[in-house]
Structure 1
């Protein structure tokens, strides 16, 4: 196996891309003072005995920059959707208009902006931990190959490849965090 070893960097890259995708999804759920349909993605409603995403019980629209509307398809679900939004921790007070739930997005105050930047930093740290765990997996594969006869030069080469990949993704996480924090703090 010694000379034939080749680390599957494509797999590591794909898995690190997954960590970035997850981070972007978490960032999208943070309210920045602008309306976004993605802010409702983490919220589920108990629909017919199953936890169901809001976008599967109604149409989510953003008619203006500070308003999200949900046109609930089943009248019996309106109350459940409203309750799920109230209990979600988004800090939004839904207003009912028949089967349409309107969510006016209030301006964020300075204190809330600071709290959200801390939450964003926590999400970024989770992503960094995921990337580092993937780095450890890659390094473990290299160490296993070393035990199976991989040369020291090849071991150093693959360890450098894994570290370079890790550094690139950590930099991507940091850049995404910086962008999100600037977006949150923008008045």
Structure 2
């Protein structure tokens, strides 16, 4: 007997490969070598599988504020990994309307922007950035978010992710202080090679 976990793993794989709209319950059951009836015992509709997958998205707000550029880098890398894992969702704007009030609020743009500005503001307080006001932070992070949505549609691999993270840092570099540059060269550059 296949478990719900196996069903979700298979459904995510098929959704990522063919798209949510192009994957049927029969496609999922065939990939699992089970009957549609057995599949519907666990999940009545494809919609139920979708919501179970969305509830697995754990973009939990960090408990602590970033105190180094490495902390922020890890947060961005975690976000990108989550997007790659669930690229079917981030590649289909119609699916965004389905999640209202049902998944982690960090999946939503405004919540992500608030988190990013909070983290960047603290890094400025810690001396890593200079002349980086809230308006510029929001604009920079909006550019990153839009780029995320375009990037994810190309089915990126781990090398793409490194290059993409490097692009994020290129947007932040104009605001580095001397301390920011030192930290970047010592802690971030080695991770991007």
TM-score by length of 2: 0.29
Larger helix proportion, structure 1 or 2?
Answer: 2
TM-score by length of 1: 0.30
Larger strand proportion, structure 1 or 2?
Answer: 1
More relative contact order, 1 or 2 (CA 8 Å, 6+ apart) = 1
